[in-house]
């Protein structure tokens, strides 16, 4: 009986140690990093830089998969329903994990309860950009030009209900303009039509807008943060350009499925923050117009909840409805 009892005790200890040992070895196979938007946009660019850095740290592949569509809901839902083992994570935004709750009450996932926040990797202003041959150089000149077009102006956004959509509608409403919204599947898809003049203007995140503006392919007129971004010190804010209280800031964060084990959550958060702050990463972020942060999971969860109230007010101010 004594030997049998000892054997059962050892077996129980081994059973308990199994999951812990697996977590300690994490990651011991490739990790899937989901981007809920098409390739080529800022979420894709940021993801690929960080995924490569994590792959170097871990000695494991971190495979970026673009699962775009439905304003980011398709990719987000995929991750919400994935196994909570740390091998499927995603880059989310204020639209996929905050404002989508307001625009789409029938989302197939709950941004607050179906995910485990890992870290807020950073924020980024948007830039008001126009077609390169548009005869304007400031937001006020753009407003005057639009008023002369008798309603025949189109503007682009990355998706219905996106922060780009909200920013444009806020400007249109406050300036008393007439303009038609043309939503795309991601800002990368909209940019060619802006360059060619098929659409006249859009608000786009600095990480994707700045390189195009610096290359002369679009004009950047202003940025939407309350103060000038360190990565674009020469670009005036919308407030400076004569639009009081026009401050809109987007964010990017990393999520895992809810119920991911805490040791894996802590490791993911720490390792992503480490990759975020490496010297060569910081140089890349500056060039992209991205302001890195890096937080604890708890701080990121608090920011996500606070943004729900912020975006609810912004959406009410614009009167946007998404079908």
Q: Which of 60-64, 104-108, 130-134, 269-273 has the lowest mean pLDDT?
A: 104-108
Say if residue 77's pLDDT is above 90.
yes
Quote the pTM value.
0.81
Q: Containing H/E element for 286?
A: helix 279-288
* Alpha-carbon gap, residue 46 to 107, rounded angstroms: 25
CA angle 296, 301, 304 (to 5 degrees): 130
> In this structure, what are the phi and psi dihedrals at residue 185, rounded to the nearest 5 degrees?
-95, 75
Task: Identify the pLDDT of residue 230.
Answer: 83
- The total number of residues written for the chain in this structure: 323
Say if residue 308's pLDDT is above 50.
yes
- Are the CB atoms for 43 and 36 separated by under 8 Å? yes
Say if residue 295's pLDDT is above 90.
yes
Q: How many CB atoms lie within 10 A of CB 1?
A: 5
Task: Identify the pLDDT of residue 313.
Answer: 82
What structural domains does the chain harbor?
30-124+249-318 (3.40.190.150), 125-223 (3.40.190.10)
Say if residue 158's pLDDT is above 70.
yes
Say if residue 22's pLDDT is above 50.
no
Assign 199 a pLDDT band (cuts: 50, 70, 90): very high
Instruction: Identify the burial level of 145 via C-beta atoms within 10 angstroms of its C-beta, where 0-12 means exposed, 13-18 middle and 19 or more buried.
Output: middle
Q: How many CB atoms lie within 10 A of CB 287?
A: 13
Task: Identify the pLDDT of residue 124.
Answer: 79
């Amino acid at each position: 009986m004594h030997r049998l009892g000892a054997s059962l005790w050892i077996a129980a200890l081994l059973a308990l140690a199994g999951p812990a040992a697996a977590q300690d070895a994490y990651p011991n196979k490739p990790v899937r990093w989901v981007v809920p938007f098409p390739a080529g946009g800022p979420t894709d660019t940021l993801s690929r830089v960080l995924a490569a850095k994590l792959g170097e740290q871990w000695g494991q592949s971190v495979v970026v998969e673009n699962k775009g569509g439905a304003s980011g809901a398709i990719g987000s839902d995929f991750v919400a329903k994935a196994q909570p083992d740390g091998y499927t994570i995603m880059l989310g935004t204020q639209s996929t994990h905050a404002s989508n709750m307001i625009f789409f009450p029938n989302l197939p996932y709950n941004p607050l309860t179906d995910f485990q926040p890992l870290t807020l990797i950073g924020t980024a202003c948007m830039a008001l950009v126009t077609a390169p041959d548009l005869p304007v150089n400031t937001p006020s000149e753009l407003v005057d030009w639009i008023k002369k077009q008798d309603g025949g102006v189109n503007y682009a956004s990355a998706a219905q209900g996106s922060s780009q959509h909200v920013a444009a509608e806020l400007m249109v409403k406050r300036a008393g303009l007439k303009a038609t919204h043309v939503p795309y599947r991601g800002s990368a898809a909209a940019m060619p039509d802006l360059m060619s003049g098929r659409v006249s203007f859009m608000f786009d995140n600095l990480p994707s807008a700045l390189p195009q503006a610096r290359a002369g392919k679009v004009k950047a007129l202003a940025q939407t943060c309350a103060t000038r971004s360190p990565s674009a010190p020469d670009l005036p804010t919308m407030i400076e350009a004569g639009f009081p209280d026009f401050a809109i800031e987007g964010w990017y964060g990393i999520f895992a499925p809810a119920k991911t084990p805490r040791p894996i959550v802590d490791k993911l958060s720490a390792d992503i923050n480490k990759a975020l702050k490496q010297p060569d990463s910081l140089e890349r972020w500056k060039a992209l117009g991205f302001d890195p942060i890096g937080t604890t999971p708890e701080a990121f969860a608090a920011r996500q909840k606070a943004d729900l109230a912020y975006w609810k007010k912004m959406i009410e101010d614009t009167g946007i409805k998404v079908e």
